[in-house]
Amino acid sequence: MSGDRGAPVCVPAAVELVRERGDLRLVLVGAPEVIEPLLRELRANGESGIELAPASQIVGMDEAPREALRRKKDSSLRRAIDLVKEGRAQACVSAGNTGVLMATAHFILRPIPGIDRPAIMSAVPAVGGHTHMLDLGANTSCTPEQLCQFGLMGSIVTADLHALERPRVGLLNIGEEDIKGHALVQEAHRLLSATTLNYVGFVEGDDIFTGEVDVVVTDGFTGNVALKTMEGLARMIGGAAREEFSRGAVRRMMAAAAWPALQALRTRLDPRRYNGASMVGLNGIVIKSHGSADQFAFRHAILTAVTEVERDVPAQIAAELARQSH
Amino acid sequence: MSGDRGAPVCVPAAVELVRERGDLRLVLVGAPEVIEPLLRELRANGESGIELAPASQIVGMDEAPREALRRKKDSSLRRAIDLVKEGRAQACVSAGNTGVLMATAHFILRPIPGIDRPAIMSAVPAVGGHTHMLDLGANTSCTPEQLCQFGLMGSIVTADLHALERPRVGLLNIGEEDIKGHALVQEAHRLLSATTLNYVGFVEGDDIFTGEVDVVVTDGFTGNVALKTMEGLARMIGGAAREEFSRGAVRRMMAAAAWPALQALRTRLDPRRYNGASMVGLNGIVIKSHGSADQFAFRHAILTAVTEVERDVPAQIAAELARQSH
């Protein structure tokens, strides 16, 4: 258990979930001397559905993947992925270092045959529901073939998780220039157009939110910048709203009067409801929680893992790739 | 006069401004048969401070720069830039096709010696004020040297327009991976570190809004995606707020009760106040208004041009470049 907040967030989220869902078994991977007191505190020591797997090391949030792979063989992050590899767990959920999680998952679980590079995929809010975006930071630069594979994986996962018949797949680009994006995006466009996907062509940054596309494909650099830009802007707007509604007694009364609407708005845009990014394209399910996730957000990441296990997403991707290659 | 709305937006904005500011002279470039009736309607025919320069063609919003450069030699867009070149106008403001505007400005005004590629720069809202970002779409891919030049130009313009002594310049990157962005960004980082700029290093998408950096440097692809992502998210949040505050009579009463705070919030985040992107690095001032700008937004774009004229931004950039090369 790592992440910015570690076990004090992960353990209560896990205990809460196994109590709600009798069918759920969660393995808490980390230092027993940290986890056990938390379980005792929650009166969950010996709770059926909770198991403890010891790990003596923790990967720091700033550690380099190569170093961590070499030196942290008994980290909670690595042990959790080992459990998936060994079939003792059906999914790994981590709030830890994204780079190390991806590198370790890649090294231990390996990509699905036909997938060059796994990608990080997440839902983001959109009008009428949400849009799925990938890659969000695993691959800073991508070949056209890799972008095309992202489209395929995004389409399969979205179709499956949301019962969409033919998810609309768009390729992120800019619309201002005559050449409409660099050669790489042009080539990916050509490849995607030749697939059987419901490829709707180029989309721009503002199209992410209109509800007119289900999957937005981009490289990990652009995707990560777009995601962080969303987070930053949403936080700034939230802060400005709090400020405007707390300028003196009258404004605070206004906020009280408008509370139900403000609360509904807040719930609707709550980023915690979108916590839990999938590392798609691996022989196994790995879900990345935001490092700063609280209990509610981490709970959502675990539930994302549960859904992917129920749907057996890696098998779906492998089957679709096999079908395409025949 | 082009853009999505054309003369019916540009002419009233111009008339309003010359009436407010006696020192301002605006040349309206376009079809006299369109502009003159509008001026008559506004009782501004013969208004001192308003001049008309005829142009018989209009560049379409989807036209390709190369085609437009060849075939639209009497377009309003080109004529307006010609006026700057001839010294008959001190700046050009256009809501037209961005690609054509940049290509035409590049072709006619030429880049300042020492600048490889002009860039599109705009203010975006941030905590406590705003941040300036460039490039926002002129150059889909950039060399490290070009990114470094963007940092220099951004710093000069920001220092000058906002009386900042040493604007903090950041380079947009992603923080998740061990390699921290691709080789190109790494090399730009090295170059920027070696300048006399107040370079604060890598920033991520969410740092755009925290007020901890004044200038955010990135390539035109990433910058345009980030900008459009902001526009799309802000629009979605605005739409969600309107929806939540109009669900039935009670919610509408809440909105009425909270009106001053909601209105203050709206004003604060109003994208029209940020309309008017500078095409920096040219021998002349060219301001790009959003294509869909209304009168208020277009007015802001004109005022951005006025400020740049007063500060003689291109001369400042040229002088700083000359200083650096000695």
Q: Check whether the bond before A135 is cis (ω within 30° of 0).
A: yes
User: Taking CB atoms and an 8 Å limit, are A221 and B220 in contact across chains?
Assistant: no
Pairing label, strands A277-280, A119-126: antiparallel
B69–chain A Cβ distance below 8 A for any pair: no
The token pair at B228 is 């459009």
Query: Which residues have C-beta within 8 Å of that of residue A281, sequence separation ≥ 6?
Result: A111, A112, A115, A117, A118, A119, A149, A153, A317
pLDDT band at A289, cuts 50/70/90?
A: very high
Among B98, B125, B244, the residue with its CB nearest the CB of A261 is B244
The distance of A65 to chain B (nearest Cα, Å) reads 6
pLDDT band at A168, cuts 50/70/90?
A: very high
A267–chain B Cβ distance below 8 A for any pair: no
- Single-letter code of the amino acid located at B271: P
pLDDT band at B254, cuts 50/70/90?
A: confident
Same domain, A150 and A288: no
CA–CA separation, A127 vs A159, rounded Å? 18
Query: Which residues have C-beta within 8 Å of that of residue B182, sequence separation ≥ 6?
Result: A140, A141, A221
Among A176, A218, A236, the residue with its CB nearest the CB of B99 is A176
Same domain, B149 and B249: yes
What is the rounded average pLDDT of the residues A139-159? 93
Residue A108 phi, psi dihedral angles, 5° rounding: -90, -45
Pairing label, strands B168-172, B91-94: unpaired
User: Taking CB atoms and an 8 Å limit, are B244 and A230 in contact across chains?
Assistant: no
Query: Which residues have C-beta within 8 Å of that of residue B118, sequence separation ≥ 6?
Result: B102, B105, B106, B111, B138, B279, B280, B281, B282
The distance of B123 to chain A (nearest Cα, Å) reads 14
Query: Would B320 be classed as within a structural domain?
Result: no
Contact B87, B288 (CB under 8 A): no
CA–CA separation, A92 vs A83, rounded Å? 8
The distance of A64 to chain B (nearest Cα, Å) reads 5
Minimal CA–CA distance to B1: which of B72, B96, B103, B99?
A: B96
Chain B residue numbers with beta carbons less than 8 Å from the beta carbon of A126 are: 236
Domain count within chain A: 2
Same domain, A195 and A134: yes
User: Taking CB atoms and an 8 Å limit, are A140 and B182 in contact across chains?
Assistant: yes
Same domain, A81 and A64: yes
Residues 166-195 of B with CB under 8 A from A: 172, 174, 176-179, 181-182
Q: Check whether the bond before B207 is cis (ω within 30° of 0).
A: no
pLDDT at A179: 53
The parent domain of residue B44 ranges over 1-112+281-311
Same domain, B14 and B108: yes
Q: Count other Cβ atoms within 10 Å, centred on residue B280.
A: 29
What is the rounded average pLDDT of the residues A256-282? 83
pLDDT band at B199, cuts 50/70/90?
A: very high
pLDDT band at B323, cuts 50/70/90?
A: confident
Query: Would B91 be classed as within a structural domain?
Result: yes
> Helices A313-325 and A295-311, interaxial angle, to 10°?
40
Chain A residue numbers with beta carbons less than 8 Å from the beta carbon of B268 are: 240, 244
- Mark A301-323 as b/e (b = at least 16 C-beta within 10 Å): bbbbbbbbbeeebbebbbebbee
At residue A312, does pLDDT exceed 70? yes
Query: Would A276 be classed as within a structural domain?
Result: no
Same domain, A260 and A134: yes
Residues A213-229 pLDDT 10s:
999 999 999 999 999 99
pLDDT at B3: 66
Report the residue of chain A nearest B226, measured CA to CA. Answer: A226
Query: Would B321 be classed as within a structural domain?
Result: no
Chain B residue numbers with beta carbons less than 8 Å from the beta carbon of A260 are: 251, 254
pLDDT at A3: 66
Same domain, B80 and B139: no
Query: Which residues have C-beta within 8 Å of that of residue B73, sequence separation ≥ 6?
Result: B57
What is the rounded average pLDDT of the residues A260-271? 79
Among A98, A125, A221, the residue with its CB nearest the CB of B182 is A221
Query: Which residues have C-beta within 8 Å of that of residue B115, sequence separation ≥ 6?
Result: B149, B153, B281, B317, B321
Contact B278, B157 (CB under 8 A): yes
User: Taking CB atoms and an 8 Å limit, are A204 and B220 in contact across chains?
Assistant: no
Contact A64, A99 (CB under 8 A): yes
Domain stops at, among B273, B290, B319: B273
Report the residue of chain A nearest B102, measured CA to CA. Answer: A177
Tokens 């853009």 identify what position? Answer: B3
A208–chain B Cβ distance below 8 A for any pair: yes
pLDDT at B178: 42
Residue B188 phi, psi dihedral angles, 5° rounding: -60, -40
At residue B220, does pLDDT exceed 70? yes
More confident position, B93 or A251: B93
Same domain, B138 and B255: yes
Query: Would B291 be classed as within a structural domain?
Result: yes
pLDDT at A52: 92
Query: Would B146 be classed as within a structural domain?
Result: yes
| Interface test mutation site (partner B, options A244, A250, A259, max chain B beta carbons within 10 A) | A244
Query: Would B322 be classed as within a structural domain?
Result: no
Minimal CA–CA distance to A205: which of A235, A236, A176?
A: A176
Chain B residue numbers with beta carbons less than 8 Å from the beta carbon of A251 are: 260-261
User: Taking CB atoms and an 8 Å limit, are B221 and A174 in contact across chains?
Assistant: yes
Three-class SS of residue A286?
A: strand
CA–CA separation, A156 vs A162, rounded Å? 10
At residue A178, does pLDDT exceed 70? no
Listed range (B195-199, B247-251, B316-320) with the worst mean pLDDT: B247-251
pLDDT at B54: 93
User: Taking CB atoms and an 8 Å limit, are A140 and B177 in contact across chains?
Assistant: yes
Instruction: Tell me what percent of the residues of chain A surpass a pLDDT of 70.
Output: 97
pLDDT at B326: 65
At residue A200, does pLDDT exceed 90? yes
pLDDT at B61: 84
Residues 247-266 of B with CB under 8 A from A: 247, 251, 254-255, 257-258, 260-262, 264-265
The token pair at A237 is 């707007």
CA–CA separation, A307 vs A29, rounded Å? 21
Same domain, A253 and A205: yes
Q: Please state the pTM of the whole predicted model.
A: 0.90
Same domain, B77 and B97: yes
User: Taking CB atoms and an 8 Å limit, are B260 and A245 in contact across chains?
Assistant: no
Q: Which string of DSSP letters, residue by residue, matches B187-219?
A: HHHHHHHTSSSEEEEEE-GGGGGSSS-SEEE--
At residue A177, does pLDDT exceed 60? no
The token pair at A108 is 């231990």
Q: How far is CA A113 from its chain centroid?
A: 22
pLDDT band at B179, cuts 50/70/90?
A: low
Residue A282 phi, psi dihedral angles, 5° rounding: -100, 160
Q: How far is CA B87 from its chain centroid?
A: 22
Helix locations, chain B, DSSP H:
7-20, 32-41, 65-71, 76-85, 98-109, 144-162, 183-193, 220-244, 248-257, 259-269, 295-311, 313-325
User: Taking CB atoms and an 8 Å limit, are B239 and A127 in contact across chains?
Assistant: yes
What is the rounded average pLDDT of the residues A292-297? 90
CATH of the domain at B212: 3.40.718.10
Q: Report DSSP state, residue A258.
A: T
What is the rounded average pLDDT of the residues B248-262? 79
B233–chain A Cβ distance below 8 A for any pair: yes
Residues A225-262 pLDDT 10s:
999 999 999 888 888 888 888 888 878 877 777 778 78
Helix (H) or strand (E) holding A121: strand A119-126
pLDDT band at B238, cuts 50/70/90?
A: confident
Listed range (A35-49, A83-97, B288-302) with the worst mean pLDDT: A35-49
Residues A105-144 pLDDT 10s:
999 999 999 899 999 999 998 988 889 999 998 998 899 9
The token pair at B241 is 């707020």
pLDDT at B41: 86
pLDDT at A181: 61
Mean pLDDT, chain A, rounded, equals 89
Query: Would A324 be classed as within a structural domain?
Result: no
Three-class SS of residue B169?
A: strand
pLDDT at A194: 93
Chain B residue numbers with beta carbons less than 8 Å from the beta carbon of A257 are: 254, 257-258
Among A224, A240, A262, the residue with its CB nearest the CB of B176 is A224
Instruction: Tell me what percent of the residues of chain B surpass a pLDDT of 70.
Output: 97
Same domain, B42 and B190: no
CA–CA separation, A119 vs A141, rounded Å? 11
Write the ipTM. 0.88
The distance of A320 to chain B (nearest Cα, Å) reads 29
Among B99, B233, B244, the residue with its CB nearest the CB of A234 is B233
Same domain, B103 and B141: no
CA–CA separation, A169 vs A200, rounded Å? 6
What is the rounded average pLDDT of the residues A70-83? 93
B62–chain A Cβ distance below 8 A for any pair: no
Residues B44-87 pLDDT 10s:
777 788 999 999 988 888 888 888 889 999 999 999 999 999 99
User: Taking CB atoms and an 8 Å limit, are A251 and B265 in contact across chains?
Assistant: no
User: Taking CB atoms and an 8 Å limit, are B229 and A234 in contact across chains?
Assistant: no
Chain B residue numbers with beta carbons less than 8 Å from the beta carbon of A237 are: 234, 237, 269
Pairing label, strands A198-203, A168-172: parallel
pLDDT at A62: 83
The distance of A214 to chain B (nearest Cα, Å) reads 15
